[in-house]
Amino acid sequence: MEWKGSGNNDLEAAVSMGIEKFILSPFVNFVPQPFASYIVQAHGFASTIAKTVMDTLCMNNYTGGFIDTNYMVPLPASKDTVFMYPSPQIAKGMLKACRLFQKQKGLQKRRKRPGRKTPASRMRRAWKHPLVGCALPCSQRYKTRQSMATACGYLRKASMKSGGYATKADGLGAEIDITGYTPDRIRNFSIIAHIDHGKSTLADRLLETTGVITKSGKNKQVLDKLKVERERGITVKAQSASMFCEHDGRKYLVNLIDTPGHVDFSYEVSRSLAACQGTILLVDAAQGIQAQTVANFYLAFGEGLAVIPMLNKVDLPTAEPDRAALQIESAFEIDAANIVHLSAKTGLGIDRVLPSVIERIPAPSGSIDAPFKALLFDTWYDKYVGVVCLMAIKDGAVRRGDRVVSMHSGTRYEVMEVGIMHPEQRPATQLQVGQVGYVVCNMKSVAEAHVGDTFHKDKFPVVPLPGFAPAKSMVFAGVFPLDAGEFDKLNESIQKLTLNDSSVAVHKETSAALGQGWRLGFLGTLHMDVFRQRLEEEYDASVLVTAPTVPYRVQYKDGTSKYIQTPADFPTAIEIQDKVDAVMEPFVLATLIFPEQYLGAMLELCTMHRGDIHTHTYLDESRVMLKCRMPTAEMVTDFYDQLKSRSQGFASFDYEDNGYNESDLVKMEVLLNGEAVDALAAVMHRDNVATVGRTMAKRLKDVIRRQLFDIIIQTAANGKVVARETVKQLRKNVTAKCYGGDISRKMKLLNKQKEGKKRMKKIGRVELPQEAFLSVMTGSKE
Amino acid sequence: MAPARTPLSLYVHWPYCSFLCRFCAFSKARVPASGVDHALVTRALLAELRTSLAPHSKDKELRSIYFGGGTPSLAQPAHVAQIIEQASRLVPLAANAEITLESNPTSAETNKMAAFKAAGITRYSIGIQTLDDGVLQRMGRLHSGAEALAAANRAASLFPGHVSLDMMFGFESQTVDQWQRELETVLAHANGHLSLYQLTVEPGTPLFRDIRAQRVKRNPDDTLALMYETAVALCRSRGLAHYEVSNYAASPESQSAHNIGYWQGRQWIGIGPSAHSRFIDPASGTCLRTVCIPDIQRWVRSCLEHGHGTAKTETVDDAEARQEAVVFGLRMLDGLSNSRFMRTGCVSSGALSLAEYLRVDQVQRYVRDGYLRSSGSLDHLAPTERGLQVIDSILLDILP
């Protein structure tokens, strides 16, 4: 193996100059030899490069990865080992580390010199953060995983011998033994709450009191690992954590499964609930019951879980715990007499939470002697080990080396590692009945891991558990790269992101206006927004997202039906006349909870959005719960924003699917100089065409810049023009003064304009700025 | 016979003004209360002149000198003469070299006109801007329309056929009719050359701040376009040919040779605070662009200590040179010939023809639509009147 270019020299130069960041062009030339195994070992600065190499390998369908450790890294000797080093000293250190490893493995005679510092202790000082990676071609994946696992094992052993030098945070402790925790010593619970009622904060406090994380005052939403989760203060991805605690002199293993709070992610909530026996229903004592409290309660109730109501934020001056308790009683008909009052922020009442959980939530059922049976309820993709599965063990036990089978696909897997989330992955010797933990078993893609699947041991089949229906996309949107040249990069980013979010449906799409892109299905508009934000933040992608549409259904006269995910697929007027029996649109049943003074405004809002009011009930003397059936399409545009503004933020909202209804739908097209722009088309109810058509034409007029010819903007439905605007021809565009001193400025401006022009989308000769697409997306009714 | 010398232009920046116009974005300073130390500024200019012209003495020939600013008519004629004399000693002055001086039409400066002629000035440019005394006052200019016309008349007698009058249009509340009447008056006093600029609101000027704060309204774009079209038509009817976006001349001899140099990519040396230069370095053969220190005091100090006030030197690569050639060539109605493009000053890699460089499909479309004129297979490319008016949009399409 060799580096093309002068990577190492450049590197050394950079290091000697103290440059911390270094863009590595030589790696463009890096060509891994197929079917060879590489181990890349590097330290400090070089580790960045090692990472780059590994990423290159992984991108090229080689698998492998890194292990970060606080200890030197002994590895099985390989003739293809690549050492990347910023200085000769480190290289020397590397070799020593390898020799040390060989000694430990008894591969070499140990020459003991008492009183002398061991190479290990020197290494510990020298290498604060060595980094190891290892990659193999796909064909040898099985072996790779094994060697990775072996390497992991070595690491852990090494760190144990180093006297716990590797910290807990690295998850590199020894395998822990939790076999003593039989079902009666286990409680599995979740916390359900409306967004912002303090669920994640309560989780932080529980983890602190049980010593899973240290009390530092810095623990803010520990389980919310994504940047977007912390920024927006929401949980998107369910997480779980195991805690050990003592109650009445007995030790318990308590597993908390954190759930997302936002309505878009209720699918994740129901998955998480299936792994629990009980749940804490957390209600903000100041705000009282909110729409999601209701929705989540019924989810838990439907699963037959024990529900423990608790009031949070009782320390707030505006808190009205008695009133909130009354609401809980009247809404859910559960006894709220002994309700736990707590303040997750200050820690008040936290000591009562786990005892209530242990006392009031039943222990998981199942038997250690029965054959192994587990429910897969969540997965995520780990760059280095592949898919990590979160499983609730229903019967029996599983340990490393076991062969397990997916009932869904019949595929066999070898278990490489089991453990609990503490709160990071912490390997355990065995997972057994009643416990909840992770299993790493050689799964290469999330597609293989069907959430809701039942696993059993090879040759010991069991009766499968009831699974879950797969997540259903509520909204679809086109996603396109801003710069067509970035398609491949974006493709990769989307692939990586969907590895961890299987609820996003991905289809390729080609638009005449925007080029190649994707049509993605999301659980809701927040989900869509979060996905876009993650794309931009985690993958540095700049994307154009078209207006969201809902899955309309077209029923043909011949009995077939088709789901419309993009306006482009919508049948033409003639087709509708000749072939279509009915055009259906999806509906939701929305639940709104708000103070009674907003009743008028809320009723008006629902009617405006073609809503059909079912009931409105008073939860107490001043809070109203309104149920209303409305088209999903109305909900995805600006309903939520309007709800918040019209109720001054006091109304909360949740929804569930409510089937399809026939509807008078038409496709509205936008024409620029007579040419239809597919990416701006939208399907909508006939009643909305006139207003939406007019506002859209006006907005486009505002964002389209004048060109050398008149631009006629038309919005049309069924071939009939609804609105028309003209952007007049540009009459003059020339710099008045241009002499010697103006030249550089003029050229700079010109190049900036050229860049701007590149980002424009061309429809015929008309240049359409990005804002055109954004303007159509946001709020269609004003 | 000695080989032909390469043409070179010289720009001299005189940084002081007696008043500051609200629209002006050039580097300038008001004359200090204690007065300008003329001798000191001249010494610095001479020092910089020597350093920057010396390397060009062997193979170049000075085709034009231009005194700009600032207000160079505030300089002392004797010092102007000294600079011209020193320059011609360093690089030979071509026989018919054009030496222009910019001036303001205050009576004091008008009185110096003859002395400037004696100092060697051959072409006189007067910044009239507008004849509307109200606008002149609002824009911070300390002269009247009548004074301006008097200055124009005086210049016409001293520099027959070589007088340029600068006008601006598009001031707040100016109507197309007002502009037309004003232009008619100026045309009656014109002698060879007119520069008619649309008022451009440059960031950093007091006018820009006024507009941003909505103290001053901007004329609508279409009104400005109409004023421009009016100017083109009116000048043509009076025998002044439109030859560049903002410039009109009675005959080719009256055109500004110095400014044409910029548009045709000629090499030039600029001296004085903030002055730019663009030339092929005789030592290395690479094309350089330099900018002088903008601050007057620091520039003077640097010139006296180091012999030059250059703050920044950049190389102009082939891509930039070609782009500049097209962008500036197409500012003139005469356009750009392929042979000139292929000889583009700085290009060091192999020559590229216009047809190879430009996006030919776009060029052809603009030719078809009547925005550009071209002969043969792009032997020559020029904008039409209609094309020149929107040339900035066209350039974005035809440049690679």
Q: State the average pLDDT over residues A30-57.
A: 43
Which phi and psi angles does B287 have, rounded to 5°? -90, 130
Residue A45 pLDDT > 50: no
Rounded to the nearest 5 percent, the helix, strand and coil shares of chain A are 35, 30, 35
- Bigger pLDDT: A90 vs B396: B396
What is the interface pTM, i.e. ipTM, of the complex? 0.89
Rounded distance, CA A760 to CA B396, Å?
Answer: 13
Rounded distance, CA B50 to CA B57, Å?
Answer: 10
Query: Residue A230 has what pLDDT?
Result: 53
Pick the closest to residue B102 from B131, B129, B66, B130 (CA basis): B66
Give the bridge partners for A612, in sequence order: A629
**Residues B396, A731: C-beta atoms closer than 8 Å:** no
**Residues A743, B275: C-beta atoms closer than 8 Å:** no
State how far residue B387 is from chain A, nearest Cα, in angstroms. Answer: 9
Q: Which residues of B touch A734 (CB under 8 A)?
A: 245, 331, 388-392
**Residues B225, A732: C-beta atoms closer than 8 Å:** yes
Query: Residue B120 has what pLDDT?
Result: 94
The DSSP bridge pattern shows strands A711-717 and A720-727 to be antiparallel
Residue A527 pLDDT > 90: no
Query: What is the tens place of the pLDDT at every residue in A730-747?
Result: 999 998 888 888 888 888
The DSSP bridge pattern shows strands A306-312 and B60-69 to be unpaired
Query: Residue A723 has what pLDDT?
Result: 92
**Residues A754, B222: C-beta atoms closer than 8 Å:** no
- Bigger pLDDT: A318 vs A20: A318
Rounded distance, CA A591 to CA A582, Å?
Answer: 28
Burial B242-266 (b: 16+ CB within 10 A, else e): bbbbbbbbbeeebbbbbbbbbbbbb
Task: Name which of A731, A746, A747, A757 to mutate to probe chain B: the one with the most chain B Cβ atoms within 10 A of its Cβ.
Answer: A731
Mean pLDDT for all residues in chain A: 73
Q: State the average pLDDT over residues A702-718.
A: 91
Query: What is the tens place of the pLDDT at every residue in A254-276?
Result: 998 877 666 666 666 777 788 88
Q: Which residues of A touch B331 (CB under 8 A)?
A: 734, 738
**Residues B393, A733: C-beta atoms closer than 8 Å:** yes
**Residues B245, A707: C-beta atoms closer than 8 Å:** no
Query: What is the tens place of the pLDDT at every residue in A632-655?
Result: 988 887 788 888 888 887 888 888
State how far residue B223 is from chain A, nearest Cα, in angstroms. Answer: 10
Residue A219: band (very low, low, confident or very high) from pLDDT cuts 50, 70, 90: low
Give the bridge partners for A130, in sequence order: A43
- Of the candidates A708, A743, A747, the beta carbon closest to that of B393 is on A708
Query: Residue A540 has what pLDDT?
Result: 80
Gyration radius of chain B over CA positions: 21
Nearest CA in chain B to A767: B397
Query: What is the tens place of the pLDDT at every residue in B41-69?
Result: 999 999 999 999 999 998 899 999 999 98
State how far residue B228 is from chain A, nearest Cα, in angstroms. Answer: 9
- Name the one residue in this structure whose structure tokens are 């716990």: A164
The DSSP bridge pattern shows strands A306-312 and A340-341 to be parallel
- Name the one residue in this structure whose structure tokens are 């000629």: B266
Provide the residue type at B124 as one letter.
Y
- Asked if the C-beta of B391 comes within 8 angstroms of chain A's C-beta atoms, the answer is yes
Q: Which of A380-394, A438-452, B145-159 has the highest mean pLDDT?
A: B145-159
Q: Which residues of B touch A736 (CB under 8 A)?
A: 197-198, 200, 245-246
- Asked if the C-beta of B242 comes within 8 angstroms of chain A's C-beta atoms, the answer is no
The DSSP bridge pattern shows strands B29-30 and B16-17 to be parallel
Residues belonging to chain A with any Cβ–Cβ distance to chain B shorter than 8 Å: 707-708, 728, 730-741, 743-744, 746-747, 750, 753-754, 757
Nearest CA in chain B to A742: B276
Residue A447 pLDDT > 80: no
Q: Which of A205-214, A371-380, A677-686, B86-95 has the highest mean pLDDT?
A: B86-95
Query: What is the tens place of the pLDDT at every residue in A546-570?
Result: 888 888 999 998 888 888 888 888 8
**Residues A746, B327: C-beta atoms closer than 8 Å:** yes
List the structure tokens of A31.
């060509």
The three-class DSSP label of residue A47 is helix
Whole-Å CA distances, B199 to A367, A735, A750, B208: 88, 10, 20, 11
- Bigger pLDDT: A132 vs B221: B221
- Name the one residue in this structure whose structure tokens are 């400025």: A745
The three-class DSSP label of residue B286 is coil
- Of the candidates B263, B276, B324, the beta carbon closest to that of A747 is on B324
Nearest CA in chain A to B69: A741
Which phi and psi angles does A303 have, rounded to 5°? -80, -5
Q: What are the 10-residue block averages of pLDDT along chain B, 400 residues in total?
A: 81 92 86 90 95 92 93 94 95 94 89 94 95 91 92 94 94 92 95 94 88 88 94 95 96 94 93 93 88 92 92 89 92 92 72 89 93 89 94 93
The DSSP bridge pattern shows strands B192-198 and B163-169 to be parallel
The three-class DSSP label of residue B400 is coil
Residue A701 and residue A727 in contact, taking contact as beta carbons nearer than 8 Å: yes
The three-class DSSP label of residue A82 is strand
Task: Tell me which of A92-106, A528-542, B19-33 is least confident.
Answer: A92-106
Query: Residue A31 has what pLDDT?
Result: 37
Query: Residue A61 has what pLDDT?
Result: 37
Give the bridge partners for B7, in sequence order: B61
**Residues B396, A754: C-beta atoms closer than 8 Å:** yes
> A-B interface: how many C-beta pairs under 8 angstroms?
88
Residue A12 pLDDT > 70: no
